[in-house]
Amino acid sequence: MESNRLLFGSNSNSMFFLGNGDNYFRGTRMGFNMEEGSKKRPFLSSLDDMLEEEYYDEQMTEKKRRLSPEQVRMLERSFEEENKLEPERKTELAKKLGLQPRQVAVWFQNRRARWKTKTLERDYDRLKSSFDVLTSDFDSIVKENEKLKAQVLSLTEKLQSKDVPEISTIGDSTVKEAGDVPAPSGHVKLEDHFSSGSGGSAVVDDHDGPQLVDSGDSYFPDDDYPHEYVAPMDQSEEDDGSDNGQNDFPYPFATTDHHHHHEEADALGWWVWSQP
């Protein structure tokens, strides 16, 4: 145990510790010139120092610098309880372990620093894998979106090339929600299920790729309509009025982002969601 005290007070070249316990003053604070000492800090005390401190014996080797497993175990246990060290606890631990309070403080300091590093690494890994998942989700949804757009286009062309008698007129509200585009007269009109309540929305299954779950769902643009996919409003999504349902860029997370964000929150813990 005593061997752990090699550096403390034993090396006049290295550091000055005045006072007892952890109530020490570092040389710099006392106005001592530490330059010389810090340029070359001998890791171990000289033989003379060791003799002087009564630390030397036949078995004294440099190995003894490390804390013993038992000391580390107790320190770890203490750290688990509380990673900050109050003065009383420090003194008590030091006494129990046969260490200088300063050593205990340094140990806790290093332990905190290294714990923090580990935590940061873990957080990085988690964020990275979440990011990768989102990226791949995004890519597959974009692909599906392209596919669906092509499908819509070809179906529209088919419909327009046929001589289909006009069906019933869609309600105004439906048309508005689907993009606020009035159906020009003389064009084919189909019932729009997108925003007609419970049965309506096109559902994207983000596991097996987006699919139109309801076979009756369809969307078609007419000639006056920009040939961009307009994401239907999800039932659960509130329309704040800022978006008329038209997007220059089809946002592929329209029906899935809630789900993903919450998953992320679970995966990332409080950090993401506690951000203002």
Binding site for DNA (CB under 7 A): 4, 6-8, 11, 14-15, 19, 22-23, 25-29, 34, 37-38, 40-44, 62-63, 65-67, 72, 84-85, 87, 102-103, 105-107, 109-110, 112-114, 116
Q: How far is the CB of 132 from DNA (least distance, A)?
A: 24
Nearer to DNA, 32 or 225 (CB): 32
Q: How far is the CB of 45 from DNA (least distance, A)?
A: 10
Q: How far is the CB of 221 from DNA (least distance, A)?
A: 55
Q: How far apart are CA 14 and CA 208, in angstroms?
A: 66
Q: How far is the CB of 238 from DNA (least distance, A)?
A: 41
Nearer to DNA, 39 or 162 (CB): 39
Q: How far is the CB of 84 from DNA (least distance, A)?
A: 5
Nearer to DNA, 76 or 139 (CB): 76
Nearer to DNA, 89 or 261 (CB): 89
Nearer to DNA, 15 or 233 (CB): 15
